[in-house]
Amino acid sequence: MKKSNSATLLIGDPISFGDCLAMGDHQLLAVTSDGKVGEAVSMAADLSEGMRNLLRHMHASTNSGELVFCSELKSLAFISDAVLALTRSAQLAMSRAEKEAGQ
């Protein structure tokens, strides 16, 4: 039987996407047990960069007397939730891989 290390356990199918219309679906974005953790972290970094750009735009708009719309705030909340889901899921996938490699 071939012994695998944590790197080989993290290579496989891409990130799984849940149903965004399902009530109580806690797996909107998740790294599957054989998913690519690096891809999830990269996506989380891209999303956080977009969030930073949106915040800078809102800051400049507010300082020039423009309004901040609720949809912009909801977008920030969604992006924040997506980044949290991706990073936590990646963390759990790496923990699982370490435990499996240690057994």
Q: Please write the tens of the pLDDT for every residue from 55-75.
A: 999 999 999 999 999 988 988
- The model carries a pTM of 0.66
The band of 98, judged by pLDDT with boundaries at 50, 70 and 90, is: confident
Of 25-29, 54-58, 63-67, 86-90, where does mean pLDDT reach its minimum? 25-29
- Summary mean pLDDT of the chain: 75
Looking at residue 43, its pLDDT comes to: 86
| Interatomic CA distance for residues 12 and 83, integer angstroms | 21
Say if residues 35 and 11 touch (Cβ distance below 8 Å).
no
